[in-house]
């Protein structure tokens, strides 16, 4: 598994922990990294960067997701799905030099490991719509 994919997976795990455990970002970091071993500095650094963007811009990210997930409120989505999307949107917002197609593809690969099989099409559709809108905003 590549460094970036591992970072995205770790970001999902931290977001999931904070979401379900109702923990603050600092609490998540403390607990998560104390129990996570064998992570090199580059992988951890990118995971931390993604997690920071996802948590500091959470309200904005959730609004973006809800605007593109027709008839779905964020709290009604499966926890893995919403946190995968939070991480992906955080990467699209915080790291605009990474092509959206790569962010989406990598998110779907992580989803194949953690999400329900029927979630893949939903995640792909929502993330693609978000990517198209973000690109329009950047160009327009």
Q: What was the pLDDT predicted at 129?
A: 96
Q: What was the pLDDT predicted at 32?
A: 93
- Residue 84: pLDDT above 90? yes
Whose structure tokens read 């460094």?
Answer: 3
- Residue 2: pLDDT above 80? no
When pLDDT is cut at 50, 70 and 90, the band that residue 3 belongs to is: confident
* Average pLDDT across the chain, whole number: 94
Spatial distance between the Cα atoms of 104 and 127, rounded to a whole number of angstroms: 6
When pLDDT is cut at 50, 70 and 90, the band that residue 128 belongs to is: very high
Whose structure tokens read 């970002």?
Answer: 25
Spatial distance between the Cα atoms of 73 and 134, rounded to a whole number of angstroms: 20
Domain boundaries, the chain: 3-139
Q: What was the pLDDT predicted at 1?
A: 60
Q: Which superfamily, per CATH, for 3-139?
A: NusB-like (1.10.940.10)
Whose structure tokens read 């915080």?
Answer: 94
Spatial distance between the Cα atoms of 64 and 129, rounded to a whole number of angstroms: 10
Token pair belonging to 21: 């455990």
Average pLDDT over residues 57-64: 97
Question: If phi over 0 gives left and psi between -120 and 50 gives alpha, with beta otherwise, what is residue 73?
Answer: beta
Q: What was the pLDDT predicted at 66?
A: 96
Q: How far is CA 48 from CA 42, 43, 68, 73, in A?
A: 10, 9, 26, 27
């Amino acid at each position: 598994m590549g460094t970036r994919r591992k970072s995205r997976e770790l970001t999902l795990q931290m977001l999931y922990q904070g979401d379900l455990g109702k923990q603050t970002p600092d609490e998540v970091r403390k607990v998560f990294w104390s129990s996570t071993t064998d992570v090199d500095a580059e992988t951890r650094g990118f995971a931390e960067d993604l997690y920071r963007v996802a948590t500091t811009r959470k309200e904005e990210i959730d609004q973006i997701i809800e605007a593109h997930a027709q008839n779905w409120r964020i709290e009604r989505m499966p926890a893995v799905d919403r946190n995968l999307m939070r991480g992906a949107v955080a990467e699209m917002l915080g790291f605009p030099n990474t092509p959206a197609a790569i962010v989406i593809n990598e998110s779907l690969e992580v989803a194949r490991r953690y999400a329900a099989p029927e979630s893949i099409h939903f995640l792909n559709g929502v993330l693609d719509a978000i990517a198209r809108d973000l690109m329009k905003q950047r160009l327009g």
